[in-house]
A = this chain, B = another copy of it.
Amino acid sequence: MKKPTPATIEDVARLAEVSIATVSRAIHMPEKVAVSTRQKVDRAIAVTGYTANAMARSLRLGRSNMILAIAPDIGDPNFAPILIGLENEARAGGYGLLIGHTQGDPLRGVEYLKFLNSNQAAGMILFTGYVPLDPASQTRLPPMVAVGEPLAQGGIPFVGTDDRGGARKMVELLIAQGHRRIAFIGDSRERLSHHRRRIGFDEGLAAAGLRDGQQVLDSDGTLEGGRAAVERLFLRDDLPTAFACVNDQTAAGVILSLTARGYRIPEDFSVTGFDDIPQAGFLSPALTTARQPRTAIGQAAMAILLGLVEGEAPEQAETLLMPDLILRDSVGARPVNRRF
């Protein structure tokens, strides 16, 4: 009872005693075929266990049902939940999700374009913050959506966290706790998302009339960078009471540095992060942070991309989802009597 080769549409047609065209129609445009015929076809499909050969289908249609997602690092803790959102939405739309990672190497990005060139992917999700396109090749762009980090190139829809709004909410939380001098750790010209968090920080302080209470330190978004920033700050004389960090890694560095100097958090200083990476809850103290709505971001991005693939006009340039504040133990009231 083995079937060495899977059933083709022709097998179904033969069994149902109709032509292959009718079988195809019974499947794709059921209303165009007589009820009795449809039933015969359905039965034949059930008997043969027929599944359309996706290759033949894609070849004929000139379009595949795969979406390619390219990330610089699929090990990034932010990546997995977004992936879930992408995958869920893709599957719901009948698409498969193909993944590639560039390990930060632009050349590797170009390598993946063969999937698009060879019609193996209908569209592309970009995590990289740049378009891996050979600028020389003048072939028209495939449908693309950027996630996480907006693209320098214009015209490509972006889905991500509302960095500005989230940072602002975070600052407001600190202000509500009585803090007046707050440092922002991790401004960056390179990463737009980080810069936007800085903007939100500014706005929050300005709205509370605390514009002169701010201190901004550049940092590269790593734990080490956070640590270094604190050290730099201690060289000056006026310390903040709270540190708003551009991301959780930076916050971890800040906490480590502060703890190493013998300070207690949140009694002596408050520290906030951004992202809510898996480790955030395991830091001591557990980190108060803004959780990116990652699964939702993935879902939204894929929905937009599938729309593009199927020919809809792109809606808005940016879709920003507001992060949730996760209140843990690293934020406390402003210390009333600073011992230092």
**Once the chains are docked, how many angstroms separate the CA of A83 from the CA of B103?**
13
A338 located at the interface, meaning its Cβ lies under 8 Å from any Cβ of chain B in the complex: no
Cβ of B87 and Cβ of A139 under 8 Å apart?
no
Residue of B nearest to A1 (CB): B138
Cβ of A114 and Cβ of B51 under 8 Å apart?
yes
Cβ of A100 and Cβ of B111 under 8 Å apart?
no
A183 located at the interface, meaning its Cβ lies under 8 Å from any Cβ of chain B in the complex: no
Cβ of A117 and Cβ of B59 under 8 Å apart?
no
- Residues of chain B contacted by A98 (CB below 8 angstroms): 66, 96-99
**Minimum C-beta distance from A65 to chain B (A):** 8
Kindly identify which residue among B6, B75, B99, B139 contacts A6, using a CB–CB cutoff of 8 Å: B139
**Once the chains are docked, how many angstroms separate the CA of A79 from the CA of B99?**
14
Interface string of A92-117 (1 = CB under 8 A from B): 00001111110000000001001101
**Once the chains are docked, how many angstroms separate the CA of A252 from the CA of B278?**
14
Cβ of A3 and Cβ of B75 under 8 Å apart?
no
Cβ of B101 and Cβ of A87 under 8 Å apart?
yes
A279 located at the interface, meaning its Cβ lies under 8 Å from any Cβ of chain B in the complex: yes
Kindly identify which residue among B59, B87, B279 contacts A55, using a CB–CB cutoff of 8 Å: B59
**Minimum C-beta distance from A222 to chain B (A):** 15
Cβ of A74 and Cβ of B55 under 8 Å apart?
no
A28 located at the interface, meaning its Cβ lies under 8 Å from any Cβ of chain B in the complex: no
A77 located at the interface, meaning its Cβ lies under 8 Å from any Cβ of chain B in the complex: yes
Cβ of B96 and Cβ of A115 under 8 Å apart?
yes
Residue of B nearest to A294 (CB): B75
Cβ of B55 and Cβ of A64 under 8 Å apart?
yes
Cβ of A99 and Cβ of B117 under 8 Å apart?
no
Within A27-67, the residues touching B (CB, 8 Å) are 49, 51-59, 64, 66
Kindly identify which residue among B118, B279, B284 contacts A52, using a CB–CB cutoff of 8 Å: B118
**Minimum C-beta distance from A275 to chain B (A):** 13
Interface string of A112-145 (1 = CB under 8 A from B): 0011011110000000000000000111100000
**Minimum C-beta distance from A303 to chain B (A):** 18
A283 located at the interface, meaning its Cβ lies under 8 Å from any Cβ of chain B in the complex: yes
| 3 smallest beta-carbon distances between A and B, as pairs | A54-B118, A282-B282, A55-B59
| 14 cross-chain CB contacts under 8 A | A1-B138, A2-B139, A4-B140, A6-B117, A53-B118, A74-B84, A75-B81, A91-B100, A96-B98, A96-B115, A96-B120, A97-B98, A279-B279, A279-B282
